[in-house]
Amino acid sequence: MSKKSRISWLLIAPLLALVVAGFILPIGYTMVKAVKNPEVTAALPRTVMVLDAWDGQGMPPDSAWDALADDIEESRRGREFGAMTRRLNFEMNGARSVLMQTRRALGSLEPPYAQSLPVAVPELATPEIWQLIKNNSNPFTASFLLRAVDLQFTPDGRIEAVPPGTAIFLDLFKRTFWISIWVTVICVVLAYPTAYYISSLSNRAASYAMLLVLVPFWTSILVRTTAWFILLQREGPINAGLQAAQITSEPLQLIFTRFAVYVAMVHVLLPFQILPLYSVMKRQGTSMLRAAASLGAPPWRQFLLVYLPLTMPGVAAGAVIVFMLSVGFYVTPALVGGLQDQMISYYIAFFTNQSINFGMVAALSLLLLVFTGALILIARRFVPGLGSLKAG
């Protein structure tokens, strides 16, 4: 390594260290968490060992009962047992209460447990719960990733669709995708003529008009969402205006609807589409159009054959940014949408705060990351120079 490039590395090192430690490692940690499965082995080491030698058919050997009793006694005051029961209950509803019941029963039971336990906890006398323990003694699992696409393991280890009443994530990924597509399309439709108009103004007028784009752009997303939250209320300014103008007689339900999500998201993201379009159009000028006109092409052909292809990079660059940001949007839909209008991000937050299921958080994050990564790769193929664009 030359002396100079050593200086380069030295100068980059502090930032690189911070990004690796504070960003790359956390993301990696999360990705690993999406497939990690330590709970059962941690809480029931002896049971796992015994079940390892069991073929999973019929009932396990009698020694498994004693191992289970030992393990539970050992972990009586620790938190491993609770974590394990939560983990297994995720795989099979009711597993937690069976195991908690077992723990309570063990306080007053005498060995041999293979005789006394099944009497106290009849659910233990069926192979399912033992299969469940055995299946989850592996330190890694695909359970969370499968659940993130509405699939699950059966007790004997096959993969099946979750019951229809609990399926949710495939629909959510689809919804996230379609809301993002529509927001992007609406942004392009609104931004194109606007950017064209501004680019056709004199420099001075254009810079004033651009101020109307830049002010919202610099204003916090939350402030803009707050504005819509207020505007769309049942007794808010929009409904008041509509009724005063006698367009409607009853207040419309605007907030907590899909409509509100679209309006607020488009409002927040529109500047990201206008800015790159404007800079492309400004550079392009209208000289090409004039040249085409002087060759006698009708206006719509001038536009379609000359101007549109030339400004396409601006459309694509903006659209990619808008789409990518939409896919990960959380705050705006959470505030102005109803429960039927939330995207995948809402459920990442839900599993983090509400239910204590970090495996699901990790699995949904991983899928969203892969989804966005794939889209970036596709976009890079079609939009040259995308890497240099800034996306707020």
| Residues between 13 and 52 that touch another protein (CB under 8 A) | 14-16, 18-20, 22-27, 29-30, 33
Does residue 286 interact with another protein by CB under 8 A?
no
Does residue 365 interact with another protein by CB under 8 A?
yes
CB of 4 to another protein, least distance (A): 5
Residues facing 161 on adjacent strands: 151
Sole binder of another protein in the list 173, 228, 262, 272 (CB under 8 A): 228
Positions 157 through 216 that interact with another protein (CB under 8 A): 165-168, 171-172, 190-191, 193-194, 196-198, 209, 212-216
Angle at which helix 258-284 crosses helix 169-200, to 10 degrees, equals: 40
Nearest to 135 by CA among 178, 181, 87: 87
Q: Which is nearer to another protein, 50 or 317 (CB)?
A: 317
CB of 49 to another protein, least distance (A): 24
Distances (CA, A) of 109 to 18, 106, 127, 269: 55, 5, 21, 64
Positions 313 through 342 that interact with another protein (CB under 8 A): 324, 327-328, 330-331, 335, 338-340, 342
Sole binder of another protein in the list 78, 139, 285, 298 (CB under 8 A): 78
Q: Which stretch binds another protein (CB under 8 A): 58-66, 114-122, 306-314, 362-370?
A: 362-370
Does residue 12 interact with another protein by CB under 8 A?
yes
Does residue 54 interact with another protein by CB under 8 A?
no
Q: Which is nearer to another protein, 27 or 119 (CB)?
A: 27
Sole binder of another protein in the list 159, 205, 356, 378 (CB under 8 A): 356
Residues facing 160 on adjacent strands: 152
Tokens representing residue 361 in the block: 């958080």
Contact 186, 262 (CB under 8 A): yes
**Surface-to-core class of residue 280, CB atoms within 10 Å of its CB (0-12 exposed, 13-18 middle, 19+ buried):** buried
Contact 158, 371 (CB under 8 A): no
CB of 324 to another protein, least distance (A): 7
Does residue 152 interact with another protein by CB under 8 A?
no
CB of 96 to another protein, least distance (A): 7
Query: What DSSP element (H or E) covers 159?
Result: strand 159-161
DSSP 120: H
Give the type of residue at 365: S
Contact 141, 37 (CB under 8 A): yes
Does residue 253 interact with another protein by CB under 8 A?
yes
Largest CA distance in the chain: 101
Positions 85 through 144 that interact with another protein (CB under 8 A): 85-86, 89-90, 93-94, 96-97, 100
Does residue 279 interact with another protein by CB under 8 A?
no
User: Euclidean distance between the first and final Cα of the chain, in Å?
Assistant: 36
Does residue 267 interact with another protein by CB under 8 A?
yes
Total residues contacting another protein by CB under 8 A comes to 120
Does residue 374 interact with another protein by CB under 8 A?
no
Angle at which helix 358-382 crosses helix 308-327, to 10 degrees, equals: 170
Distances (CA, A) of 176 to 189, 261, 263, 306, 373: 20, 12, 16, 34, 15
CB of 93 to another protein, least distance (A): 4
Q: Which is nearer to another protein, 25 or 291 (CB)?
A: 25
Tokens representing residue 275 in the block: 């800015």
Does residue 235 interact with another protein by CB under 8 A?
yes
